[in-house]
Each structure stands twice: as C-alpha cells, then as structure tokens.
A and B are shown apart, each in its own frame.
Chain A
Amino acid sequence: MSAIRRSAPERAFSVFNYVFMTILCVVCLYPIWHVLMASLSDPTLMYAHQGLLVWPIRPLNTLGYRLVMTNRLIGSSFVNTLVYLIAGTLLNMFITTMGAYGLSRKGLFWNGVLMKLIVFTMYFQGGLIPFYLMVKNMGLLNTRAGIILPVLVSTWNLIVMRTAFAGVSESLEESARLDGANDWTILWRIFFPLSQATVAVIALYYAVYWWNNWFNPSIFLQDRGKYPLQLLLREILIKNDTQSMTQSSMVSQEQTSQYRLLVKYCVIIVATAPILAVYPFLQKYFVKGVMIGSIKG
C-alpha cells in the first residue's frame, strides 16, 4: 500500500482507527477477564474490592470452584441441559429436514398453501398466555416433553433449509429415481449430505437455542430437578439465590455473604467456559450461518 502516498488526514484516521479497534477489543474481553480473576481471588478481600481487577487478589483461592463443582444442583442442571440439547437438537433436525425436503419439492398441490400458512406464523402468533395454556391443557407442564415439543421446528430454520434443498440439482434426483430410490432414500442419501454446510449451521442454531434456553423452562417447570443450566443460573445470578451453594461444610456462617459473590463469579466461568472452548472451532460455521440466514427463503 506504500505505492499510493497517503495524505496526513488519512494517516491520522488510520492511527485513530487502530487505537479504536484495540480499545474495542479490550472492552470486549475485559469483563470476562475480570470475572475469571475475581473467581480466583480471596473472597474476603474481593468483597471489599471495587473497580477494575487485572490480577487475582492473593491468596489464590479455588474454594469457589470446588463449591460449584460439587454442587448437586449445578451438576444435575448441566446434565439436564445436555439432555435437552442433544435430544432437542436431534428431534429438531429430524423433523425440520423432512419438512424442508417435502416443502422444497416442486409440483405438489398443497405446498404453496402450506408455505404461506407457515410463514404467516412468523408474523403472527397466539401470544404468551394462549401458548402457556396450550402446554397446560396438554398436560405437559413440569415435564421434559413440555420443554422440547413446543419448539420442535423454528420457522426461520425451516425456510433456510428449504432454500438449500431447493437449490440441489434436479438431475441428481431424477437419476436416483431411475435407479429406484424413493423419497426417503433421496433425502438422506443425496440431499442431506449435499447440503452439509446448511445442515451444520442449522444444527448449530438449534443447539445454541437449547444452550441458552431459560424462558420456556421458567414458566413451565416447577421441579428444580428438571431445570436446565441457564434457569438455575438465573436463580443464582439474577435472583441472588445462592443458598444451596454456600450451605456447605466448607464455608463458615460468617463468610456466607463473601462466598456468595465468589460463587457467582465461579458459576459464570463454569457456565461460559464450554461455549468459549468450542467457539474457535465452530466460528466458521457461525459466520457461514449469518450468510445463509441472510438469503431470503
């Protein structure tokens, strides 16, 4: 770029730009760093500390993590989240794929109508209470099925997948049919593998939904044994209910309020670490997902 001489204002802008970007990166990373450092600090000193935190306040302390890791509720909610995530995503993918395949076929009499009816639900829904009453009337309150069944298909994902399937070359389908393949085989042996990129992105979207899911569980579940992780986090982080955490032989009565804060920080790290650990490997799919999502269905 040195071939073109840049004027003084341009150079000034360039410097400003780099400085700005660097500050932005710091701002994006610092909160997580802060929490990580705080979670390792001494709880009593941390309780009194205010403002920025660049290094942990010594003596280093891992009791917070031990409290979180040995907590039964955290463990069970983590398992619950995994169950919801795996079972939910598999069911989501199975039904969405079949639906998208069927709806992407040309020449079916009802497809136009069905698509219109489906797209309509993106813009108009029954609303929170009718939805809640529906779940209740079907006897699904406080069950795991009540968490999974009402969100089996996301319209947006269905449309994206349908678009991908509609783009698969027709000659492939024809030659498979000549060889005697039926729709089932054509879908799973040809369309599914050929649309791998989209499939991965959609699966990822569903998985992210399940990981972040707290709202529906919060209105449908009473039994804490069925709570997903995020709902438990809400109790700990938002409602400030850390009783179950700090009631332990490892913490004395007087220290409870100090450990409360520490436990919060540790919980944040424990709940965020898995995502940040897999994020670098999945980044390209996420980015691809934004692109795919931007194609209109």
Chain B
Amino acid sequence: MTHAGHAPGTINTNTAGNRAPAIVRAVVLALCLATALSLFMKYVGAVEYKTDAPLAYSGFDMVGRATGGKSDGAVHPMILTLLAAVVGLAASIIYNRSAFLPCLMSGAALSALLLFRFDMYFAEQREFNFVSGMTTFGAGWYAAAACMAAALVSTAALNIYASRRERAASRASVFLSGALPEGYRPPSIGAVIAKDFRKHWPVYLMILPTLVFYIVWCYGPMHGIVIAFNNFSPRKGFWGSEWAGLKWFREYFRSPFAFRTVRNTLMINVLNLLIGFPAPILFALMLNEVRGVLYKRVVQTVTYIPHFISLVVLCGLLIDFVGTEGVVTTVLGWFGMPKTNLLANAKYFRSVYLASDIWQHLGWNSIIYLSALAGISVELYEAAIIDGAGKLRQMWHVTLPGITPTITILLILQIGQMMSVGYEKIILLYNALIYETADVISTYVYRVGIENADFSRSTAVSLFNSLINFSLVVIANRVSGMVSETSLW
C-alpha cells in the first residue's frame, strides 16, 4: 500500500514517491510476461521446426529425437539462469524498489534466451556463428530479447537514479540540520553490517533455526528444479545428470494430458470461484438477518462442525455416501436422478467435489464476513431507512460496500491459488474411471512423480504449474492494487 503524502520537512524515506507510475510498471510487467510466455511457447512446441535444419540443441534434434546430451564440461546453462535470477533479486533488494518482479522476470527470461543459444552451441560442439544463429532464431527472438533488455535496463536505471536522488536529498537535509560536522563521510556498508551484527547477534541467533529451515526445506528443493531440464538419474545426482533442455516441457505440451489437466484445473477453479466463493457471502448475509441471538449461535456452531472433520474421513464418508446405494444417491433418487455411483462417472465428479467443499466450509468461511457485517455502523442503516431505503436497497448501498474490502482480499487470495487445487482431496477421491474430469495438474504431478517415479517429467510439469501460479498472484495483486487500493503487499 502506498502512502499518499508525508509530513513536510521530514526526510523522504518513503520509497513510493520515487517509483515509476503504476501504469508504466504494469506495462513493463505485462511486456515481460507476454514475451516470456511467447518465448516459452515458441520453444516448447507451438511452433513447427524445419526437420531438415542442421542444428541440434538441448540434446535433441529438431524433431525431438534424443541425440544425447553433450554439455559435459561446459558451463551449465542452468547456472546462467540462476545467476541472472540472483542478480535480479539482489538488485531489487539493494534498491528496495517495486521493480523487483520486472527485474527478476526479465533477468530470468534473458537468461533463458542465453540458455537456448549456449545450449545450441554446446550441443553442436562447434564455433558459434552469429549469422547462422540469427537466421535460426529469426527476428521474433531478437525483438523479444530487445524488449527484455529494454525492460531490464530501464527499470534498473530508474531505480538507480531514484535511489541516488533520495540518498542525496537525505544527506543534504542531515547536513542542513547541523547534526553532523562538515566533511562527514557515511560509514561503509561493511562497517554497517559488522556493527549491526555485533549489536544484534543474540537476535540473529534466535532467527537462525528459522533461517536454516527455510534454506534447507524451501530453498534447498529449489535447486532440485534443475531436474526438470535434465534426464535425472538418482545415481548421477541433480547436476550430474544428462542435460535434456526443455524436452519434458515439450513432451507434456504435446501429450493429451496437458490439455486435460489444465482444463480440469481451470474448470474446478472457475466453478469454485463462481459458486464456492459467493456461497459463504450469501450465507453470512442471510444469517445476518436472523434475529434470534440464540438461534443464530446454534446455527453457527452447527455449520462449523463439518470443518473439523479431517479430510481423509470426509473423503471416506463421501465415497460411501455417493456410492450406488449411498445416502446422497438415494436422496437424489427421490428427485429423479438415476442411481449410480457418482464417483464412477466422470460427469458428476465436479459437482461432488464442489458440493462437498461447500458443505464442509460454508459455515467456517462465513465467519470472516459475519465479523465484517458486524462492523458496519448501525447509523448507516438508520440513515438509509430515513432516506426511505427498503431492505434490498439497504443491502445494496450499505451492507455490500461494508464488506467489499474483505471480499476483495479473499478474492485475490483465491485467484492466486487458481492453479493449485486442493490436490490432497482429489487424490483421495478420484480413480481411473474419472481421470477425464478429475485429473488436475497437481494430481498428474503426483501420479507421474510419486507413483511412476518419473522424476524429471513430474518436476517439469510442476514447475510450469508454479510459474503460472506465481504470475497469477502477482497479476491479481497488481490489478487489485490499481483498482481498489486494497492489495496484499
């Protein structure tokens, strides 16, 4: 959130003031995302390659036949990617600016581009020829690369300029206030770090276990992502395995699974967004109209109960209840539904999944809305009544605006999770009969990786999933920040 202004006369430490305008940042970000995506799709197989082209890269020839990796002894292309990502991260931290993401993304995309070229070069084991490279990649690549470079350079330049200006201003104001003698030189960064550590080492010691946890269990697995780009064999290790370039991505996108899993993931999420998300809001609004205090509390307590049933038990119950002779099937039979096992029929899976989700979390998810509703001032309602507003108009003009910020925040969170369905539940519920509608990206990752031990393929698919997810969070947050001043960070 940005603060619009600051008290006059104080040192400007508010970084927001120096940022590029929101629209510029949004355009840079969109440009980066679009080019990254187009590069990715181009490489991954949306574009046809000439089969007689002489070049072989990524350990694969132009039609995807394996030629055997030949990148031994060379600089691993992946290192370049990681290096660029680290540089982007470091730059954004040092300058502490919101250009973090553009920097990171353009850095990563640029290095991906480098990766292709180096990859080709090493696969060929011959002198790199700029002209042949030019014609192979075509103008599109260079346009994309130019966009990336422009984005990177311009954001970096903007940041450096803003940071210089700010530091100069703050130094000037310190000198003007007379607190420091003329000729004072600020301590070096090393001195600052050393002094900070001497003063605060007990606190750092307390952070240490947390830090170790994050390094080992969150950042540790990240270097394992490299196996998405090679033919991982446990014997050779993460970095020693044969390089495969984007083989696994290409295979995934050319397999029927890609369409099916992406469609199912989106379908379940969109349905959840359209039906599952408004349900607790509606419930809260209705419960808010109940006048008996005791009755209201009873309803609340009872509707929270399903939330406390563990997932495994819930799925066990569900499998039993929607079986051919289960309770739910029987009740639906009264209304003319055919009696079949709902979980053995692909067309019912989404409904079963969604309905059980709503059943379990309806009451619980309404808590937050109920408290937001309770926070709306009674005076607003009184004023509305005096103005002659009926119940519906009160709801539209008082109640809904009152809970809109809550809804917005939860909506952003929800959209951020668009591509990560609750896979645990699906793994518990689905079976081979209903993969057609039930198989989502994360269950595919689980099946391929854990059940078939096809580690590289699984990691590639999950990397694709997390990248999409990450972009969705960022986009949702940006959009919301622009539209309504409510954002997550």
Contacts and interface: CB of A to CB of B under 8 A. Distances in A.
A219 B450 contact: yes
Contact of A117 (B214, B308, B368, B455): B214
Contact of A28 (B359, B449, B455, B473): B359
Interface string B172-194: 00000000000000000000110
Interface stretch (B73-81, B131-139, B201-209, B261-269): B201-209
Nearest to A293: B368
User: Size class of B's contact patch?
Assistant: 35 or more
Interface of A is mostly: helix
A156 to B, nearest CB: 11
Contacts of A134: 216-217, 220-221, 224
A183 B199 CA distance: 12
| B interface, over-half SS | helix
Interface string A270-291: 0110011001100100110011
A214 B428 CA distance: 11
B214 A126 contact: no
Interface stretch (B46-54, B296-304, B432-440): B296-304
B211 A114 contact: yes
A182 interface: yes
A230 B310 CA distance: 8
B224 A130 contact: yes
Given A95-B213, A211-B310, A125 B299 contact: no
Nearest to B363: A28
B289 A128 contact: no
B206 A126 contact: no
Given A17-B290, A102-B207, A183-B203, A127 B302 contact: no
Contacts of A250: none
A150 B220 CA distance: 11
B23 interface: no
Interface string A1-25: 1000000001001100110110011
B462 to A, nearest CB: 4
B470 interface: yes
B319 interface: yes
4 A-B pairs closest in CB distance? A126-B221, A237-B316, A130-B224, A99-B210
Interface string B212-251: 0110111111111101000000100010000000000000
A52 B327 contact: yes
A167 interface: no
Interface string A179-221: 0001110010000000000000000000000011011000100
A294 to B, nearest CB: 6
A31 interface: yes
A211 B307 CA distance: 13
A290 B406 CA distance: 12
A214 B327 CA distance: 27
Nearest to A117: B214
B206 A101 contact: yes
Interface centre among B221, B234, B286, B304 (most CB of A within 10 A): B221
A102 B221 contact: no
B224 A129 contact: yes
Interface of B: 93, 96, 192-193, 196-197, 200, 202-204, 206-207, 209-211, 213-214, 216-225, 227, 234, 238, 283, 286-287, 289-291, 295, 298-299, 301-306, 308-313, 315-317, 319-321, 325-327, 330-331, 359, 362-364, 367-368, 371, 391, 406, 409, 416, 424, 427-428, 442, 445-446, 449-450, 455, 458-459, 462-463, 465-466, 469-470, 473, 488-489
A28 B313 contact: no
17 contacts: A21-B290, A25-B302, A28-B302, A51-B330, A53-B327, A127-B458, A128-B450, A129-B459, A133-B227, A134-B220, A134-B224, A183-B203, A237-B316, A272-B308, A290-B367, A290-B368, A291-B367
A189 B458 CA distance: 48
A129 B428 contact: no
Contacts of B409: 294, 296
B327 A51 contact: yes
A96 B424 contact: no
Interface of A: 1, 10, 13-14, 17-18, 20-21, 24-25, 27-29, 31-32, 34-35, 50-53, 95-96, 98-99, 101-103, 105, 107-110, 112-114, 116-119, 121, 123-134, 149-153, 158, 182-184, 187, 211-212, 214-215, 219, 230-231, 233-234, 236-238, 264, 268, 271-272, 275-276, 279-280, 283, 286-287, 290-291, 294, 296
Contact of B224 (A53, A133, A151, A182): A133
A31 B221 contact: no
Contacts of A25: 298-299, 302-303
Contacts of B449: 128-129, 132
A268 B316 contact: yes
A125 B416 CA distance: 14
Contact of A130 (B196, B216, B221): B221
A35 B317 contact: yes
A18 to B, nearest CB: 7
Nearest to A99: B210
Nearest to A126: B221
Contacts of A98: 206-207, 209-210
B210 A95 contact: yes
A238 B315 CA distance: 7
Contacts of B326: 50
B459 to A, nearest CB: 5
A233 B223 CA distance: 35
B313 A268 contact: yes
A207 to B, nearest CB: 12
A27 B331 CA distance: 12
B320 to A, nearest CB: 7
A129 B447 CA distance: 11
